[in-house]
Structure 1
Amino acid sequence: MGYDKDKRQIPNSLQKFTKELPGRFAAGEFDDERSDRVVRELEGFDKAFKKQWTFWKKAGVTTAAIAASFMLFVGSGFVSPTMAKMVSKIPPLSSIFNSPEQDLSERLTQTLKKEGYPVKQVNEFVGGKDEGIIITLDASEKQYQEMQHDVLKIGHDMVKSKEFKGTRIEDYFVKVRPHREPSEEWKQEQAEIERETDEVFQIVQDALKPFDYQNSVGYMKDEVELEIPSIEKQEKVDQIKKAVEDALTANDKDDVKVTIRKFDVVKREQYALWSDAVGGIGHEFKTYKKYKVSGVGYKSKDGLMTIFITMKMKSTDKEAAEHATDLYTMAEEFIKSDEIWPKVKQDPYRIVVRTKDKKEFNIEEKQFK
């Protein structure tokens, strides 16, 4: 019996790299040849996991952040004069996401296909200095040259449309590229990587069965990462590691290193409890440009959850203090809403609004420090 591919996990080092990659890619750090390779690999990944992704979308995963942020408007206890002032002339999220399960890439893909264009893939790049979409056409060089201008116009018209007015989407770049079929050498390389990965995961899974291992397993070239609670006895940790190492060696994989990453169970559970709150606040504040927010994050330390809201304004800006007060109040009222408060009311927390020049706003004194 094979291992469950749906349970593949990615090591932290690879997570960090892939998280930064879209921004670097969108910012033009890579030449055309490397960019084309990235697009090809994204196409391959999307194709391989399309069925699973469709299933999870139907299960409501893609609507979670939207639903959470939508509660900023309709959640009980979150209607206030401050909010009314902040969202004036901003359309409600329901008017932007008429079909919550359909993201921008899917909408643009359907629009282009309806017009008869041979769309291979539409990728959305977010989180970097520049955000936008890249449209890949499955066409010859001649066809691509003939279609490029019209396809670009359709893409620009969509991101500049009325429904996205006032959001960061209207500032998206739009690029069009021709699809380039990967070489046989590249295909063979990818097939070998997948074969090796499948083999290693099967070996590791079999070795972990006696331990009733329920945590993540990560693998990248020559390294397996096991995730273990920090409260686990070291004796058992050593036994688990040795069992996996012995299994790899027995299968001629002794060049694969086994590493242990310990995690705090209580802290992880706390992050899970706060994910809807922070996800909703972050999605709302970063969707609309009027909020002038560059980032929203959270950190747990000694049982205290801190929510960070970073403004694009400097502390010396004339309206910075008033704007920080508005952001703080909106976030606080959202946390206290009927949808969020029951999940987090047992946890001590604080909201920190900070500026571009790294000054923190003191809500009691109404000034930056």
Structure 2
Amino acid sequence: MEKELKKVYEHYRKHYINDQITTRIQNKVHQEMENNNISQLKKQRPIFVKKLFYTSAFCVVVIGLFIGSAFFSPAMAEVASKIPFLSKIFEQKPINEMVRERLIENGYKISGVGYSVPGKIYHVTVEGPEDYYKQVNKEIKKITEDVIASSGYDDFKVEVGLEQKIEHKDDPRNRDGEMLFKTVSEIVPKLQKQGYKIHTYGSGYADPDAKVMRITLDIEDTEKRTDEIEQAILEGIHELGLKNEVTVNFHKFNVLKRETENKWASKVLPVIGEGMLGKKEYKTKGIGYSFKKGIMNIYITTKIDKSDSEAPELASKIEAEIHEFLQSDDLKDIVADTPYKIVVRDKEGKDIN
């Protein structure tokens, strides 16, 4: 893909970029660096930020021009066709971020954006009174559809809804839950400072009718002092005088395996999911993954039946697209030597490939 992007660079250097534009780009980068906002120039999926210099900022502009004009320029369309679809998604912002930015730029009050896998429905939630919602919901839907289409997606439906305010009743259970979490949030950092290998934690009722309150701690699998941790936490919450019983549960994990899984889950799998669900040609209705025994298993569930004559071809197409993306230069540091398996299934969950 690097060779193809060089062609794009040269094309725009020759036909579109001049000294005045270059100077403006450099000035903008310099200004952003002074404001400590350089990461905003090249946002990627969550927690994925690359170090930028003037030259890479120029490339950001080129890529933006390239994606926008590939549909209009035959020469650029030819170059674009050689870049894997998922790699193009990887280079652009997440669709959620693009929609939110466009709507905010147009002055709309938005409280949430995102898509649900069942039905492939893209939801936009409007903040404000009902009168405001009735006034802007059609405009918001049109803008959202335009942003989604410009990203190359053709299989998302858009629904715009009004934010529903939930009134929290003065329930003793809510107060107890808040008190418990506040206390745990004070105890755990102290234990962490003492060297206990605790990572994330949470507390509350398992379900609305539960009578036992539960504290869950993620700890490294090398941490053996669970009795000491449990004792310290229970002693700390004893003074709260909670009426319900409180239990402490531990979830042990391997640090290296979790780091690998987190890299895939934050940087790779969202791209695959967005791309597979957003294009009609892949006929995808669901995605999932599991990381077991050091192998990343990626599951793509399609809308077709295994007995369908086109099932093998579709499975091969999906598998090839994902494999090409995972083997790209962009993902060398992420995928590294982690073995993976791509499983394509029919609408009943039967493996096709």
TM normalised by structure 2 equals 0.62
Q: Counterparts of 1:183 and 1:169 in 2: how far apart (Å)? A: 36
- For residue 342 of structure 1, report the CA deviation from its aligned partner: 4.3
Identify if the C-alpha distance between structure 1 residues 206 and 87 changes in structure 2 by more than 3 Å, giving closer, same or farther.
closer
1:153 and 1:255 mapped to 2: Cα distance?
51
Partner of 2:197: 213
Provide the residue aligned with 1:172 in structure 2. Answer: 158
Structure 1 counterpart of 2:307, from 316, 323, 327: 316
- Counterparts of 1:65 and 1:240, CA distance in 2: 30
Q: CA RMSD, aligned part only?
A: 4.4
Query: Following TM superposition, by how much is the alpha carbon of 1:219 offset from its aligned partner in structure 2, in angstroms?
Result: 1.8
Shift of 1:58: 4.5
Question: 1: CA distance between counterparts of 2:148 and 2:117?
Answer: 23
Match of 1:105 among 100, 107, 111: 100
Could you say if the C-alpha distance between residues 217 and 294 of structure 1 is closer, same or farther in structure 2, counting changes exceeding 3 Å?
Answer: same
Aligned to 2:261: 271
Distance in 1 between residues matched to 2:91 and 2:256, nearest whole Å: 39
Cross-structure match for 1:132 = 122
8 Å CA contact 1:300, 1:306 repeated in 2: yes
| Aligned counterparts of 1:128 and 1:351: Cα–Cα separation in 2 | 19
Contact 2:116 2:123 in 1 (8 A): no
Correspondence for 1:152 among 119, 133, 137: 137
What is the aligned counterpart of 1:305 among 296, 305, 313?
A: 296
Worse overlay, 208-217 or 222-231: 208-217
1:273 deviates by 4.7
Q: Quick check: 2:44–2:90 contact (8 Å CA) kept in 1?
A: no
* CA spacing shift, 1:218–1:57, aligned 2, 3 Å: farther
- Once the two structures are TM-superposed, the CA of residue 156 in structure 1 deviates from its matched residue by 2.3
Tell me how far 1:202 sits from its aligned partner.
Answer: 1.1
The 1:246/1:186 distance shift into structure 2, 3 A limit, reads: closer
Contact 1:229 1:265 in 2 (8 A): yes
Question: Using the alignment, how far apart are the partners of 1:94 and 1:264 within structure 2?
Answer: 28
8 Å CA contact 2:263–2:334 kept in 1: the answer is: yes
Pairing 1:200–2:200 present = no
Query: What SS does the corresponding residue of 2:203 show, helix, strand or coil?
Result: strand
The yes-or-no answer on 1:239 pairing with 2:223 is no
| 1:75-113: CA deviation from partner (whole Å, max 9, x where unpaired) | xxxxxx9x949989x9x659985x989432343244244
Q: Write the distance in 2 (CA, Å) between the matches of 1:87 and 1:263.
A: 35
8 Å CA contact retained: 2:42, 2:49: no
Unaligned runs of 5+ in 2: 1-36, 51-62, 68-77, 206-212
Would the aligned equivalents of 1:298 and 1:305 in 2 still touch at CA under 8 Å?
yes
Aligned length: 280
Q: Is the 8 A contact 1:159 1:170 kept in 2?
A: no
| Distance across 1 between alignment mates of 2:47 and 2:309 | 32
- The higher relative CO (CA closer than 8 Å, separation ≥ 6) is in 1
Q: Percent identity?
A: 24
> Per-residue CA shift, 1:323-367, capped at 9, x if unaligned?
2111111111112112223443423332222221223233xxxxx
Q: What TM-score, normalized by structure 1, do the two folds share? A: 0.60
Once residues 101 and 354 of structure 1 are traced to their aligned partners in structure 2, the CA distance between those partners, rounded to angstroms, is 27
Equivalent position of 1:257 in the other structure:
247
